[in-house]
Every structure is written in structure tokens, then in C-alpha cells.
């Protein structure tokens, strides 16, 4: 039986106090021994320096493969070239290439699409490039068939691993994986799982991502939103059930959106480690 990859996502903190906390958290995440840890990139490049530093720390100090997110919205080729040179100098070898969300009133810059960024990184050389995919379709796509076409372009540019947007209905992921297969996309797909442990947080994230919340989750949030411990347990249980089903159905990988919380990641991992 093939091993299912298990990976985590962390994000750079916004203030200097939290910087120390993230390094402490990374030490705790390392105990799980994930297959890789990805590090997000702030809107408009607001945390690009920390993304590079944290990614380097993960790979060189913790000896865990790291994947640095890189968005290109509003960027020039010089901007991206400088960031790639810095990542390379810090020993970062893996990039998750994303267009990023366009801030209101701003232009796209030199890169119109994630595929433009992937081509640029390929020309620069020295990196393995991963890309995003969307089980429910990208919010700007005219239809799901267009999403598959874009994913095929990314694959043809050399992308060997896709990391999915968060989703809560596994049928959406299975449909996407099947359509990718029909299109000749023979790449690893890691399923993005977001534990619902905080009511305000999940509503904000869902509004940004466009992901739909199944009735089972909305009922749990409504019932337990004033009982943090109960909501936490319900969220962990839902994530574990989702992951168990994905592994049983042959998903290549599970990518856990950790929200920088080692306890959440550890509690979930301890429930699923025997099936990976």
C-alpha cells in the first residue's frame, strides 16, 4: 500500500513578538515529522522576507523539506527575480507558485497568471515548482472545465505536485482528481484540510476562499460556537473523518492548514498516523 504524504502549512507572523513563537511552534511541528512544511506569503508580499527565512530554517535547521509560497500579483520581473535569488541563497529549493489575490484598485503587474510565474521560475532555474488547484473551482473561473485546462497548463510546465484549496466535501476533491486524470495530469495532489476549530475564523476564511460549508459543519458551529472546547473537538473529529475517507480512497497527500497551532496538528496527526 502506498504511503499517503502528510504536510503542514504555516504562515509568517505579523509582529516581532510572534516571530519567536513561530520558531517555537516549528520545533513542535517537527516532532510530527511531516513530509514537508509550506510557508505562506503575505498579501502584496508583506511577509516575503519572513517567508524566505522561515522556509530556510525548516529545511536547513529542522531537516524537513520546505515549500515557500510565492505570489506574483502586482510584482515586476525584477521583484520576483530578487526574491528567487534570495530563496536560492538561503537554500530553499521548492516553491508553490501562485498568482495571489488582486488588491482592489491595483494592477496585476508583469504576471497575469500563475502560469506566467511558473515559466519565469523555470527560466530562472534551480527550483521544483508546485501549484495550487481548486476542488470547487477557482472563484474567477468561468467553469470547472477552464480550471482543468489551467491545471493542465501548469502540469505541462513541469508541475509535479498540486496542493488543493481547502474544501469540506470530499466529493468535490474526487471529482477534481478524476477530471485531472482524464486530462492527462499525472501529478501528486495533496488535499487541503482546514480544521474548523474557531467560528469567526472559519467564516472569514470561507468568505475569502469561496468554499462551501456542509450542513454538518454549520450545525456544529451553531451549536458549539459559545463552547470553545466542544467546537474544537467537533472540528478535530470532522477533519479526522475527512482525512480517513481521503486516505481510504487513495488520495496522494493530506495538506493540513495548521493556522500555526501545533496542538491542532498533533491532535489530528495522532488520530490518523496509523492509516497514512
pLDDT in tens, 63-90: 999 999 999 988 999 999 999 999 999 9
pLDDT band at 17 (very low <50, low <70, confident <90, very high): low
**pLDDT (tens digit per residue) in 213-264:** 999 998 998 899 899 999 999 999 999 999 999 999 999 999 999 999 999 9
Catalytic residue numbers, as ranges: 9
Helical H segments across the chain, by residue range = 16-30, 48-60, 77-89, 114-124, 144-156, 170-182, 199-209, 215-224, 228-248, 262-272
**pLDDT (tens digit per residue) in 177-211:** 999 999 999 999 999 999 999 888 878 877 877 88
d(CA 73, CA 100): 6
pLDDT of residue 56 exceeding 80: yes
pTM, whole model, 2 decimals? 0.94
pLDDT of residue 47 exceeding 60: no
**Closest C-alpha among 22, 8, 12 to residue 46:** 12
> Which of helix, strand or coil describes residue 159?
coil
pLDDT band at 16 (very low <50, low <70, confident <90, very high): low
Over the Cα atoms of the chain, what is R_g? 18
Residues in the chain: 276
What architecture is the 5-272 domain classified under in CATH? Alpha-Beta Barrel (3.20)
pLDDT the model gives residue 49: 75
Amino acid at each position: 500500500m502506498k504511503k499517503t504524504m502528510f504536510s503542514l502549512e504555516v504562515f509568517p507572523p505579523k509582529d516581532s513578538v510572534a516571530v519567536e513563537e513561530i520558531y517555537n511552534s516549528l520545533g513542535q511541528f517537527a516532532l510530527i515529522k511531516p513530509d514537508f512544511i509550506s510557508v505562506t506569503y503575505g498579501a502584496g508580499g508583506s511577509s516575503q522576507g519572513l517567508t524566505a527565512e522561515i522556509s530556510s530554517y525548516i529545511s536547513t535547521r529542522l531537516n524537513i523539506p520546505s515549500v515557500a509560497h510565492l505570489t506574483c500579483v502586482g510584482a515586476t520581473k525584477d521583484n520576483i527575480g530578487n526574491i528567487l535569488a534570495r530563496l536560492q541563497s538561503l537554500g530553499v529549493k521548492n516553491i508553490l507558485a501562485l498568482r495571489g489575490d488582486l488588491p482592489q484598485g491595483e494592477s496585476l503587474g508583469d504576471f497575469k497568471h500563475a502560469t506566467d510565474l511558473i515559466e519565469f521560475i523555470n527560466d530562472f532555474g534551480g527550483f521544483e515548482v508546485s501549484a495550487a488547484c481548486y476542488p470547487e473551482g477557482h472563484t474567477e473561473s468561468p467553469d470547472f472545465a477552464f480550471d482543468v485546462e489551467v491545471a493542465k497548463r501548469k502540469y505541462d510546465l513541469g508541475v509535479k505536485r498540486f496542493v488543493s484549496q481547502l474544501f469540506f466535501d470530499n466529493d468535490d476533491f474526487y471529482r477534481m482528481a478524476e477530471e485531472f486524470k482524464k486530462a492527462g495530469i499525472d501529478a501528486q495532489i495533496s488535499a487541503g484540510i482546514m480544521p474548523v476549530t474557531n467560528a469567526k475564523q472559519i467564516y472569514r476564511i470561507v468568505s475569502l476562499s469561496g468554499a462551501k460549508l456542509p450542513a454538518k459543519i454549520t450545525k456544529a458551529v451553531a451549536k458549539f460556537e459559545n463552547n470553545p472546547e466542544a467546537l474544537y473537538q467537533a472540528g478535530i473529529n470532522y477533519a479526522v473523518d475527512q482525512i480517513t475517507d481521503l486516505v481510504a480512497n487513495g488520495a496522494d497527500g493530506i495538506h493540513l492548514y495548521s493556522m500555526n497551532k501545533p496542538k491542532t496538528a498533533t491532535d489530528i496527526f495522532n488520530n490518523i498516523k496509523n492509516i497514512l
